[in-house]
Structure 1
């Protein structure tokens, strides 16, 4: 039963995001677009045209490996743009949870979703554009720029079909252009150490995204887009990335975007880039670069297979350290000048409308690897060793009181005594989900309340999924599938208001501290949407935020 339910649910996700989609039907018109002096030949899929795999940067190989991205040279000649570019190098995933139903579930998730890519290689910095077939160079359509998720370790634009977004926008009479970009992940995009900091080459994945946004400014008009009407949108690591773009540069967007849409990701608590030193040193040692006078340059000069094999030995998102990620954005003194949450406190935030929401059970997926933690003492040890080494005994006591072992209070929430895979599973899932997702979202919204227009949501769909509930990434079903969220996105991209101006959708009120209202997505077919209050687990999230500000990862 458990296996069948999980596999069916995630098979649905795979189908909805367009993986393995049939080849487009033949059409008479061959779409083309001119960029600089180059001509790109795209795909005709009837109501939409797709231009895929366009390089937006020089290949990040050789001396450009572990270096800032360099913009593409002016285009010349004729190029085929009918196939997605290769994914960037993916982090290998190991599953330290043995065998059985839970292991099968995680393996399916990883192998069928996170690892569905178009092949991976270092030369991967490409961008994709999907437009209504009626668009012309004078259409000036709003643009949504999608940043994929995957824990900053996995993923590619090939996991998602932007055509369904554009097609729906046409049906709504609010046509938009969809852009998706590749960016470097794992060590290739988020290597962290003193050496990286000294060289000024931290957060390369975010730098890749920023360069892609500049590419949009330069070229999107040729596709019929309006460079003044760009919304950045992401889920998970993609949503965290969106938040980082809102915080960098003192909050100055440089005119790159005018709105932001974040699913399961906010300004998370991260510390200095030197916090990644141990992982860097392990890669240097594994590759034989230890004795080099410049270890970073040594890593640049390694054969790709040698470097990739060493990177694959570092912890991944499904390792025992779970959401204490080896690779993620960190304070590098350049892209991020401080802990993101402190940047929020100081007002270094883009003054733009934004949407920011979560799934109800964000932590369950990442807690499946902790099934060997079954006692109170083991929970205490894990929290201290993995997340807050300097926590006081009294704060730890309070934290574990606020997140008790009582399964009726754990995640999946609102499922009573069910789903208690171990005596501590639901407790750890609640803590991890709040620490990395729910508490940072609430902190961000509370800090920005009354300063700009903001909306928030909570997805409680798939609540009946055994062990996982309304798990992380389940809201993708509502936006790349057939759910209401897609309409709200289209309205937001057009109007900077998810309600749009048509009055045809369930009204989504703005979020304020006085009235912290959430648009809540439910499985109930008769009442699929309702407004709830963001007032759950207040004391627990406040303590987690307090601990995070004092001791970011």
Structure 2
């Protein structure tokens, strides 16, 4: 039941405007060990792009944990993003595309603005483990600015740092406008089978969750080198959306919650520790690759897969399910408990309190599951819905265990997602029902589970963990998909809060006031009140969410009690039957 998150959304792509290069000044340089790294100027920013942080994971290093580069020599050209890691194909279903073309007055792609400033797509290569640093041009090497490290999303199947160049540029420019400049860094990490191969064979060679370890090695690079760029390694915040946000949460759980002081804060948009099981749960997909690449007769299938030509391996990977396949968020390739990086199932680690104690912000959009439910429009009856959920998301659960689910997520259209849109957007009799289930089981319920169990752990241990939660209902009137997954990121809804959190470990804006924090008006009329409400901490006594309303600019404060019983049921179910 993984998520994907995925999304996809990396759905599209990356084509917009060419990089603006300021050629009027000498190219910027920075020294790493004995190497000179040359970057580029772009407007008010300086970018150092495509710096390798680990050895190329090719040949005998394919699928293995990354080997960090420990010393630099010579010259490094950091003027362009490095290659993106091999991507798994995730085509939008033709039937859905036709549906949208005939039914909607817009292009579906309009809702996924390009995130890069480049007209030239970056090539794919297994030699892809690079990191990028973007900073205000006039920042000196001894500035010691706070550092914001981005981890991209894409369902653990697709994505790259390159694909978010526009987001990076936006956030650093905005930080300067606010007078709170930050240094931004973003790494590539391996996705799909290259980063998340899972089976007993993988476990035997201790190669599980290689993609997460890629992220870890990049965070260690930040600690070692970000000071050369003007950043303060003691003031690092990690930030991600979707699979990136899930990754952030799993970095908090890594090695039993041992952060090794790699970061002091975390910001998660649509992602929390997910309900996945042991690494052997991916055996069926591993075996599929073995059978499709003529490795089935090998004495060592893992070694054989390392030697398969990239094109052959990629074709086999593309034949496995993706986040736009029928099984949607029950992902084939995702993090799983390997006993080392993830010592146990993520939610059990949360229950055990094995979580790095740093301040964090986490939240969701209202309709997380809509995008991922467009691939199951052929599910149209109650019987088909029940069969779909029981076989795809909770195989092994008996009928009596699942019985409450059918009433918690009823077929009546007003109850489904997009939520609070009456019977609108019901493109099939079961679409809104599936969307409500997928959004809750993968995104909403894990977020609440994470926060509430950490509060319980804090109470029992006496060690308080500061946290803030949010919910966005923006773009609710988007036909069919409502307040869809990734909408908050694409409109920059949280940019200012992220910047202030990176500085202060508190997301509140300077003009936030307690005098209006508890006043909530309907229909977005709260935006007429003076000032911004103070974003309250999420506590046991007051588990409140900073809620961005459908209309108006002023957030409301709401209680985190929506769909309380269904989400509690889902978490108990997923703990008993993790994928």
Per-residue CA distance 1:343-385 (angstroms, 9 max, x = gap):
0000100011000101100000000001000000001101110
Change (3 A) 1:495 1:241: same
Is 2:160 the counterpart of 1:156? yes
Of 192-201 and 164-173, deviating more is: 164-173
Aligned 8 A contact 1:462 1:470 in 2: yes
Structure 2: distance between partners of 1:343 and 1:109: 39
Structure 1: distance between partners of 2:304 and 2:107: 36
Q: CA deviation at 1:391?
A: 2.4
Is 2:467 the counterpart of 1:454? yes
TM-score of the superposed pair, with normalisation by structure 1: 0.93
After TM superposition, the structure 1 = structure 2 runs for residues 505-516 of structure 1, keeping only pairs within 5 Å, are 505-516=532-543
Structure 1: distance between partners of 2:369 and 2:298: 41
Picking from 313, 316, 323, the partner of 2:322 is 316
Picking from 487, 493, 511, the partner of 2:496 is 487
Aligned to 1:207: 213
Is 2:93 the counterpart of 1:66? no
Aligned to 1:497: 506
Is 2:385 the counterpart of 1:379? yes
Q: Is there any run of 5+ residues in structure 1 with no aligned partner, and where?
A: 1-9
Q: CA deviation at 1:340?
A: 0.3
Q: CA deviation at 1:18?
A: 8.3
Q: CA deviation at 1:166?
A: 1.2
Aligned 8 A contact 1:58 1:73 in 2: no
Per-residue CA distance 1:3-50 (angstroms, 9 max, x = gap):
xxxxxxx99x989x9854543343324211000111111111232111
Picking from 121, 126, 131, the partner of 2:130 is 126
Structure 1: distance between partners of 2:301 and 2:76: 38
Aligned to 1:44: 41
Structure 2: distance between partners of 1:457 and 1:35: 39
Aligned 8 A contact 1:19 1:158 in 2: no
Change (3 A) 1:224 1:60: same
After TM superposition, the structure 1 = structure 2 runs for residues 14-29 of structure 1, keeping only pairs within 5 Å, are 19-29=16-26
Structure 2: distance between partners of 1:126 and 1:407: 46
Q: CA deviation at 1:476?
A: 0.7
Change (3 A) 1:102 1:391: farther
Structure 1: distance between partners of 2:174 and 2:465: 28
Picking from 511, 530, 548, the partner of 2:574 is 548
Q: CA deviation at 1:534?
A: 1.0
Change (3 A) 1:490 1:508: same
Structure 2: distance between partners of 1:73 and 1:256: 17
Structure 2: distance between partners of 1:19 and 1:540: 42
The alignment covers a number of residue pairs equal to: 537
Of 486-495 and 396-405, deviating more is: 396-405
Of 157-166 and 333-342, deviating more is: 157-166
After TM superposition, the structure 1 = structure 2 runs for residues 250-399 of structure 1, keeping only pairs within 5 Å, are 250-399=256-405
Is 2:546 the counterpart of 1:519? yes
Per-residue CA distance 1:155-174 (angstroms, 9 max, x = gap):
11112131221111111111
SS of the residue aligned with 1:100?
helix
Aligned 8 A contact 2:20 2:42 in 1: no
Q: CA deviation at 1:392?
A: 3.1
TM-score of the superposed pair, with normalisation by structure 2: 0.89
Picking from 93, 98, 107, the partner of 1:100 is 98
Aligned 8 A contact 1:374 1:422 in 2: yes
Change (3 A) 1:539 1:208: same
Change (3 A) 1:186 1:225: same
Aligned to 2:186: 180
Of 312-321 and 131-140, deviating more is: 131-140
Q: CA deviation at 1:507?
A: 1.7
Aligned to 1:140: 144
Q: CA deviation at 1:477?
A: 2.3
Structure 2: distance between partners of 1:321 and 1:131: 41
Q: Is there any run of 5+ residues in structure 2 with no aligned partner, and where?
A: 1-7, 459-463, 513-530
Aligned to 2:517: none
Structure 2: distance between partners of 1:111 and 1:119: 21
SS of the residue aligned with 2:478?
coil
Aligned 8 A contact 1:117 1:156 in 2: no
Aligned 8 A contact 2:532 2:554 in 1: no
Per-residue CA distance 1:109-148 (angstroms, 9 max, x = gap):
8998699952211110000001111212211111010000
Is 2:80 the counterpart of 1:83? yes
Q: CA deviation at 1:106?
A: 9.4
Structure 2: distance between partners of 1:325 and 1:398: 24
Structure 1: distance between partners of 2:12 and 2:304: 39
Structure 2: distance between partners of 1:470 and 1:500: 24
Backbone CA RMSD of aligned residues: 2.3
Q: CA deviation at 1:512?
A: 1.4
